[in-house]
Amino acid sequence: MTDQTEPEKATAPPAPDPKAALSARMARFKALQEQRTSGKKATEKEVIEEKKRNEGKPEELEKAKRLQERAEFKLLKADDPDFERKRHWDYTAEEDENWAKRLAKKARNRDNNAFSDYRQEANKVYKRQIKQLSKVDLEAYAAQRAEKLQRQVAAGLLELVETDDGDVFTVDKDGRVNTPVEENYNFDHKPSKEAVDRLVEQLDKSERARLKARAARGLKEDDGGDVTYINQKNKQFNEKLARFYNKYTTEIRESFERGTAI
């Protein structure tokens, strides 16, 4: 008679404890809440610090405002294909014409950046410097110019011409229109102290900018000696020649300076 062993019974896994699962979920929920709270506090702290940093910088606030307005404008333009036509409804015909002239002037200035001749370059520099001078009384200048034209017309230096449309202008012997004649015998213009101060300030500003640009390029100011060069490269070449040949040419140069050279 053979011994038969009974098969082992499979043991079922223990049933999950609902209290333990609930505790684990509550712990994870609390951890997420704490993480959310800490992240919110960190964000608020960073916003406050950024606001403090920008409080003393009005230019930063103005820049942010301009960027926001530009972004809003682009959104409105993208949403409405007829945006440009509707936008012109808010302006008068005169304002629209002035804006078109302004855009055309900007385009001409942009296309006129290339160098053509020294006269035009000097004219551009002059206009830029006049624009940089603040509080220029153009009305007073125009009134003074008109008074000078009237005085020269009365003296017979200019001829007064009236067109059929009623426009009046002056013409000199060279055909120039509304241009005063140079009066070498009469210098009656005397600028105000404020105008002189503005000019001096502008000259000082230009000189500081020039020195700053030279320093940025690693150039130094001249020591006031004789200028024997036409540009910086030529100056370096002359200095190199002087290092090698000055010991041979010193006597000859001194003789030339004394005027005793043969």
Cα dist from 159 to 5, 178, 180, whole Å: 141, 10, 11
Q: Between vectors from CA 175 to CA 169 and to CA 176, what angle results, nearest 5°?
A: 60
User: What pLDDT does residue 171 have?
Assistant: 81
User: What pLDDT does residue 180 have?
Assistant: 74
Residue that finishes a domain, picked among 93, 111, 131: 93
Query: Where do the H-state alpha helices sit in the chain?
Result: 18-55, 58-79, 83-87, 93-111, 118-132, 138-154, 193-216, 232-258
d(CA 108, CA 42): 52
Contact 251, 257 (CB under 8 A): no
Q: For residues 61 and 127, state if they share a domain.
A: no
Q: Which residues have C-beta within 8 Å of that of residue 145, sequence separation ≥ 6?
A: 180
Residue 16 belongs to some domain of the structure:
no
Q: For residues 147 and 85, state if they share a domain.
A: no
Q: Which residues have C-beta within 8 Å of that of residue 189, sequence separation ≥ 6?
A: 144
DSSP codes joined into one string, 145-199: HHHHHHHHHHTTSSEEEE-TTS-EEEE-TT--BS-PPP-TT-------HHHHHHH
Range of the domain at 175: 122-220
d(CA 191, CA 202): 16
Residue 23 belongs to some domain of the structure:
no
d(CA 223, CA 225): 6
Per-block mean pLDDT, blocks of 10 residues, the chain (262 long) = 51 68 81 83 82 70 82 79 76 84 83 73 82 74 82 80 77 76 61 83 86 78 70 86 87 80 56
User: What pLDDT does residue 183 have?
Assistant: 59
Q: What is the three-class DSSP state of 246?
A: helix
User: What pLDDT does residue 224 have?
Assistant: 58
Q: For residues 43 and 85, state if they share a domain.
A: yes
- Please say whether the dihedral angle defined by the alpha carbons of residues 83, 86, 91 and 96, taken in this order, is positive or negative: positive
Q: What is the three-class DSSP state of 230?
A: coil
User: What pLDDT does residue 1 have?
Assistant: 47
User: What pLDDT does residue 34 have?
Assistant: 85
Residue 171 belongs to some domain of the structure:
yes
Radius of gyration for the chain, computed over Cα atoms and rounded to the nearest angstrom: 41
Structural domains of the chain, count: 2
Residue 198 dihedral angles phi and psi, to the nearest 5°: -65, -40
User: What pLDDT does residue 54 have?
Assistant: 65
